[in-house]
Structure 1
Amino acid sequence: MKGATHTADVLDHARAVADAVLYEGYVLYPYRASAAKNQVRWQFGVLVPAAVAHEGGENCAQRTQCLLEPRGAARVDAELRFLRVRRRTVERLEADGSYTPVPELELPDRILVPWDEGAEERVRIHLPARDLTAGGEDWDVAFDLPAHTGREPVTDPSGRTVGRLVRRTARVTGTLSPALEELPGPYRVLRLTVTVRNTTPAPPGQGDRAAVLAHAMVGTHLLLGAPGGHFLSMTDPPEWARGQVQECHNDRTWPVLAGAAHADDVVLSAPIILEDHPTLAEESPGPLYDATEIDEILSLRTAALTDREKREARGTDARAAEVIDLVDGLPAAVRDRLHGTIRSLREITGERQPDPAPRQGLDLPPGTGHPWWDPAQEPGAGDEIVVVVEGVPLGAGSRVVLTPGARRSDAQDVFLRGRHATVEAVVDDLDGETHLAVVMDDDPGSDVRRAQGRFLYFRPDEVRPLTGEEP
């Protein structure tokens, strides 16, 4: 492969987050092949052969564009990563020595069923930056991953062979096309473009998504590194580069800064939207493959599976088996750490005197008489804060009628319109917008909501003063 070599260690830090992208939605709770959630898979970063592109909304290529200040960068490292579908069937060993495909093979510790596994693939290139900007040369790098069939014997606890797993992987071919273009401007900046294409010949069974996926690239994403250089943020670039950032076009991928310790020499271009310098939650005990859920909920639900359900999950996929084993062996301290973690959005400075009468039963932080969520713990909260609505000052204790829906921001607005509520506090958000924290008057759990700080928040134009004349 032209210019191929090992990518630099500068990419290592980003791989942890890239793995989460690669395996997002790989296998969903309850982690069994028979579960309805696992019948339609491979949703992110799917690149199919060009002959069947746009069928069912799939595409054959993705393009990343980002800006690089080269400074001392002598090369650009690129690592293409994706999953290749590996179709697994289950066969039982017969008395005559032949093998028969079966829908399941039950063992004491697991129930093996047919399943599509994901085999991780990487294509790495290392290219001198000066050659990429010189022009006049085709830097397309082609890769060809041949078809393969593998067989793994299945044995029972006594070591006797009772069947086998047959894994078939179809051929996948593609290209990785990098280019650098110097842009005009007050500072030297290059536009890096990397296009990834699936060039696999038209597969048999066109129109059948399962057949097409065998030749697809799944979870496709790029890691880009420029040791000694500086990538610019695509969401918060310096003012002088905003126009150049707006001219970049990213198709079916989104590049973010992903270097260690907020370094800007690495970019992760992913098929899902991330913020700059994404990190994995340190409380997470391991990959659960379902980022639409919360680790705590997934762990508790997984622990509640029956023994047979856990056996089927273990037989579904090796990664699903790891999840079951992880949850079964999760120490109580680790499980507790999943609950109630707070990362402060802003630092509150200044000393506060302890509240002479803190609320009973609440775990209050040192030096304050109020929990973190209580508006009374904000600096200056001792002053009465009001907001004027329809000529009436509203503050803590005021009663209002809810009139949400002007911005159509919440589907539950229709259920809250016209309801009566009591204002607990007037607060400002991080953008300086004013909100009223309220508790519903007819909520039977209002005392619990007050104790836990579970308020509803409305803008001043979403309420009106309660005059006593309303029904």
Structure 2
Amino acid sequence: MTTTATASASRFTKARQVADAVLFEGYVLYPYRASAAKNRLRWQFGVLVPPAWGPAHEEHAYQRTEILMEPKGRATLAVELRFLHAQRRTVQRALGGSAFEDVPELHLADRVLVPWDEGAEERVEGEFPVDALAGGGVTVPFTRPARRETEPVHDADGRLVGRLVRHTEEIHAVVRLTAVELDGPYRALKLTAVVENTSPWTPENADADRDAALPRSLVAAHLLLGLSAGSFLSMTDPPEWAKGAVATCVNRHTWPVLAGEPGRADVVLSSPIILEDHPAIAPESAGAMYDATEIDEILALRTAALTDQEKREARGTDPRAAAVIDLADTMPPEVLERLHGAVRALREITDPGEPAAITELPGDEAVFKPDTPWWDPAHADTADPARDRILIDGRPVGVGSRVLLRPGLRRTDAQDLFVQGRAAQVEAVLHDVDGGVHLAVTVEGDPGADIRREQGRFLYFQPDEVTPLEDT
């Protein structure tokens, strides 16, 4: 592996747009000032800490990705590890000559400089024959050295008034790649990619806080994987023959999804943030705002409404925060309007004269009007959660039916583990606007089931996550 671009890097171009969002997710949060409480505990995703510090603080030193792939011929695997290397920035005021002193703030006309941890983007790239991943595979250690850099700070008249001092600590890490061929009707391999922080740093005392570990950590670490020939298999929608093998894949502290353009399966993004296959940046997005807990429209308006002093503090916190302030201040009205909302995946009818497609389910008594979309108030809502029934394994299931809960691979709620294998009663059959069906259930033996029924608070599962037990 090297730190120079590989010939296969171009295949990651589309996926890297999403990977950039992962890399800087939560980097600096509104109101974009270092003094804000929520910017004092930073970097929650994909942080791989030194192994001597992690266990006592319930943080991990590694990521493990497992996914199936079907390489063709003499395929090669391109790998790109990306992460942030935290660099601690201190602020010093010029005292004259070569003398400086540390200060908590340095006021300039357009910004207020303060101490802050910046994130320097790091990238480790390589390409390997798939055949080389068999057996012991490929192990690639790498190091990022400690550094100390200074940057002079001048006022509006060009006078030296201070400097920024950046300290970066040494990082040691390793990438391990192995592939095992599976038994089955088609040639498929299980790829395992492990990224591990191997830094030998040991805290001077057991009470060392997270701030001491972060400069020696890989922050927002994630992988891009690409096949020169062949394809990867989706972890959430694999072909029938591969479902058993996919279920044996073990992913720790990261989750692999198909990336790039829809329809392609030669690129994977393994991210510490759970994503769906083929994630994409919304076309309405005017730029990165680093705060996915907020709605972009509201965030832009709130940022534009900051006082001049607050904007000075934000601009002095980080160059990326300054870019957000400038974006909000200069956003044209027509661009802001685009953030107001977008309806995606509306049903398209190529020939207005043709009837709309209809999915019939047991108990349906009416259908969509062929010329009335679901979002039109004139559309007749024929769903009846209390009477609708659906077929599961050839058996009708509706209100009162008993089912066995088997949460599927798509689950993202850890509480699903507590109801795995439990019997439940169906309370309603619900249809969403995209044609999906959801079963509202209460778990048998739950002492609060009656209260849940009164309040309409149920657990929800899709039909392929339950097995019918009997009808009542």
Q: TM-score when scaled to structure 2? A: 0.76
Matches within 5 A, 1:337-352: 337-344=338-345, 346-347=347-348
Aligned with 1:373 (options 365, 370, 375):
375
Q: Using the TM superposition, give the Cα deviation of residue 350 of structure 1 relative to its aligned residue in structure 2, in angstroms.
A: 7.8
C-alpha separation between the residues in 2 aligned to 1:387 and 1:11? 45
8 Å CA contact retained: 2:352, 2:371: no
Aligned with 1:431 (options 424, 436, 444):
436
C-alpha separation between the residues in 1 aligned to 2:305 and 2:453? 41
Q: Using the TM superposition, give the Cα deviation of residue 461 of structure 1 relative to its aligned residue in structure 2, in angstroms.
A: 10
Q: Using the TM superposition, give the Cα deviation of residue 57 of structure 1 relative to its aligned residue in structure 2, in angstroms.
A: 2.0
Change (3 A) 1:103 1:433: closer
Partner of 1:175: 174
User: Any idea what the Cα deviations from partners look like across 1:222-277, whole Å, max 9, x if unmatched?
Assistant: 00000111000000000000000000000110000002343100000000100000
8 Å CA contact retained: 1:7, 1:124: no
Q: Using the TM superposition, give the Cα deviation of residue 346 of structure 1 relative to its aligned residue in structure 2, in angstroms.
A: 3.9
The one-letter code of the counterpart of 2:178 is: A
The one-letter code of the counterpart of 1:343 is: R
Q: Secondary structure at the match of 2:309?
A: helix
Give the count of matched residue pairs: 387
Change (3 A) 1:190 1:99: same
8 Å CA contact retained: 1:45, 1:252: yes
Q: Using the TM superposition, give the Cα deviation of residue 54 of structure 1 relative to its aligned residue in structure 2, in angstroms.
A: 2.1
Matches within 5 A, 1:11-50: 11-50=12-51
Q: Which has more radius of gyration? A: 1
Percentage of pairs with the same residue: 55
Find out whether 1:263 has 2:255 as its counterpart: no
Matches within 5 A, 1:384-395: none
User: Any idea what the Cα deviations from partners look like across 1:50-106, whole Å, max 9, x if unmatched?
Assistant: 111223221111110000001245210111110010000000001354100000000
C-alpha separation between the residues in 1 aligned to 2:225 and 2:292? 24
Partner of 1:327: 328
Change (3 A) 1:4 1:370: closer
Change (3 A) 1:313 1:264: same
The one-letter code of the counterpart of 1:65 is: E
Find out whether 1:157 has 2:156 as its counterpart: yes
C-alpha separation between the residues in 2 aligned to 1:260 and 1:385? 35
8 Å CA contact retained: 1:107, 1:156: yes
Partner of 2:230: 229
Q: Using the TM superposition, give the Cα deviation of residue 130 of structure 1 relative to its aligned residue in structure 2, in angstroms.
A: 1.6
Partner of 2:6: 6
Q: Using the TM superposition, give the Cα deviation of residue 296 of structure 1 relative to its aligned residue in structure 2, in angstroms.
A: 0.3
8 Å CA contact retained: 1:179, 1:192: yes
Structure 2 alignment gaps of length 5 or more: 354-368, 388-428, 441-451, 458-472
Q: Secondary structure at the match of 2:138?
A: coil
Partner of 1:107: 108
Q: Secondary structure at the match of 1:27?
A: coil
Q: TM-score when scaled to structure 1? A: 0.76
Partner of 1:245: 246
8 Å CA contact retained: 1:7, 1:78: no
Q: Secondary structure at the match of 1:55?
A: helix
Change (3 A) 1:308 1:4: closer
User: Any idea what the Cα deviations from partners look like across 1:191-228, whole Å, max 9, x if unmatched?
Assistant: 11111110111244452210111100000100000011
CA RMSD of aligned residues (A): 3.0
C-alpha separation between the residues in 2 aligned to 1:230 and 1:310? 47
Change (3 A) 1:270 1:329: same
Structure 1 alignment gaps of length 5 or more: 353-366, 390-425, 436-457, 464-471
Change (3 A) 1:110 1:235: same
8 Å CA contact retained: 2:150, 2:163: yes
Partner of 2:313: 312
8 Å CA contact retained: 1:221, 1:269: yes
C-alpha separation between the residues in 2 aligned to 1:178 and 1:253? 15
C-alpha separation between the residues in 2 aligned to 1:351 and 1:65? 46
